[in-house]
């Protein structure tokens, strides 16, 4: 049976992160040879290590910093040994600051360095990766770039989701996160318009809240806003990614596909 991505090479940045293994696993199941990219010295997450332990000879792990163009170019050059240039790029590398993993600030006191770091990775890093890997797609006359957005590209986080947390100052979803993802969605449209004539499609996939061990009170509040009545499971994201990465979406470019259970519909 021919799989949707047989014979294609797909690059996933931020492969060790929370959603990186979801994208890598989906692409592998669709027949692609997958190049997982993450920071030099970073340790694979348990989920990514699980993919590696399965002994799949189509999963390759390379190191690069998405803010370092030369390191991305080195990954691109190493991809030549896989038999074909990458025709799929999943721009997944990003910074987020969930509760408990970062300092909290009042809105008017957020250091500009904290704001800038998120924007640089989430937006500038995606732009650099698109430049490096998109150039080969343009030359080949085909390719699919999938930028990983967020429901917060479209709406503001609701601070009431977090007001039960005992932090002082109160936890705020970082403003740079949504701003960077909104910028990424617009960059998606820009690249789609400019590279469409060369056969390269560029789309955004924006997940809603994904189940991942959040505290019960947060989940209760969040799910109360979701028409489908639950948070996303990783399996909910696989099909949308393969749709955008494969020829199933051959006439789709410049769109943001929201996979949020209806969160942004009201």
What confidence tens digit (pLDDT) does each residue in 14-38 have? 999 999 999 999 999 999 999 999 9
Give the pLDDT score at 83. Answer: 87
| 176-200 b/e (C-beta count within 10 Å ≥ 16 → b) | bbbbbbbbbbebbbebbeebeeeeb
Q: Please tell me which residue in 48, 177, 190, 251 is annotated as part of the active site.
A: 177
List pLDDT tens digits, range 113-165.
Answer: 999 999 999 999 999 999 999 999 999 999 999 999 999 999 999 999 999 99
Q: What was the pLDDT predicted at 57? A: 87
What is the distance between the alpha carbons of residues 33 and 85, in angstroms, rounded to a whole number?
Answer: 11
- Coil/strand/helix, residue 36: strand
State pTM to two decimals: 0.96
Q: Tell which residue, 194, 185, 192, 80, has the closest CA to residue 145.
A: 192
Please state the separation of Cα 80 from the chain's center in Å: 24
pLDDT bucket at 104, cuts 50 / 70 / 90 = confident
Pick the CATH number of 9-260 from 3.40.630.10, 3.10.20.30, 3.40.50.620, 3.40.50.720: 3.40.50.720
* pLDDT tens column, 230-250: 999 999 999 999 999 999 999
Please tell me which residue, 99 or 168, carries the higher pLDDT value.
Answer: 168
**Per-residue pLDDT at 99:** 74
Mean pLDDT of the 168-179 span: 93
48 is catalytic: no
Q: State the pLDDT at residue 55.
A: 61
Q: What does residue 200 show for φ and ψ, rounded to 5 degrees?
A: -105, 125
Contact 52, 34 (CB under 8 A): no
- Confidence label for 54 from pLDDT (cuts 50, 70 and 90): confident
Whether residue 102 is predicted with pLDDT greater than 70 in this model: the reply is no
d(CA 17, CA 29): 19
Rounded distance, CA 158 to CA 255, Å?
25
pLDDT higher than 90, residue 112: yes
Residue 101 has pLDDT above 80, yes or no: no
Q: 41-50, 53-62, 212-221 — which is least confidently predicted?
A: 53-62
Contact 251, 192 (CB under 8 A): no
In which band, very low, low, confident or very high, does the pLDDT at 103 lie, cut at 50, 70 and 90?
confident
* Mean pLDDT estimate for the chain: 95
d(CA 166, CA 155): 25
Residue 249: per-residue pLDDT: 98
Q: Is the pLDDT of residue 100 over 80?
A: no
Between 213 and 186, the higher pLDDT residue: 186
**Cα(10)–Cα(86) distance, rounded to whole angstroms?**
6
Q: What is the pLDDT of residue 247?
A: 98
178 within 8 A of 153, measured Cβ to Cβ? yes
């Amino acid at each position: 049976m021919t799989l949707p991505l047989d014979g294609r090479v797909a690059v996933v940045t931020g492969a060790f992160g929370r959603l990186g293994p979801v994208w890598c696993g989906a692409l592998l199941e669709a027949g692609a040879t997958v190049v997982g990219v993450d920071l030099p010295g970073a340790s694979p997450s348990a989920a990514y290590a699980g993919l590696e332990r399965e002994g799949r000879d189509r999963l390759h792990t390379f190191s690069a910093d998405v803010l370092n163009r030369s390191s991305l170019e080195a990954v691109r050059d190493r991809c030549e040994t896989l038999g074909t240039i990458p025709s799929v790029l999943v721009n997944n590398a990003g910074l987020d600051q969930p509760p408990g993993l970062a300092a909290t600030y009042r809105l008017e006191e957020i250091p500009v360095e904290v704001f800038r770091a998120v924007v640089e990775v989430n937006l500038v890093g995606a732009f650099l990766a698109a430049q490096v890997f998109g150039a080969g797609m343009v030359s080949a006359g085909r390719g699919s770039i999938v930028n990983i957005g967020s429901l917060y590209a479209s709406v503001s986080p609701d601070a009431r989701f977090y007001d039960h947390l005992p932090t002082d100052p109160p936890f705020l979803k970082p403003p740079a996160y949504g701003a960077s993802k909104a910028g990424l969605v617009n960059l998606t449209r820009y690249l789609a318009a400019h590279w469409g004539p060369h056969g390269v499609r560029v789309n955004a996939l924006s997940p809603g809240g994904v189940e991942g061990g959040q505290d019960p009170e947060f989940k209760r509040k969040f799910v109360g806003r979701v028409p489908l009545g639950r948070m996303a499971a990783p399996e909910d994201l696989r099909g949308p990614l393969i749709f955008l990465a494969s020829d199933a979406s051959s006439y789709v470019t410049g769109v943001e596909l929201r996979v949020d259970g209806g969160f942004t519909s009201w």
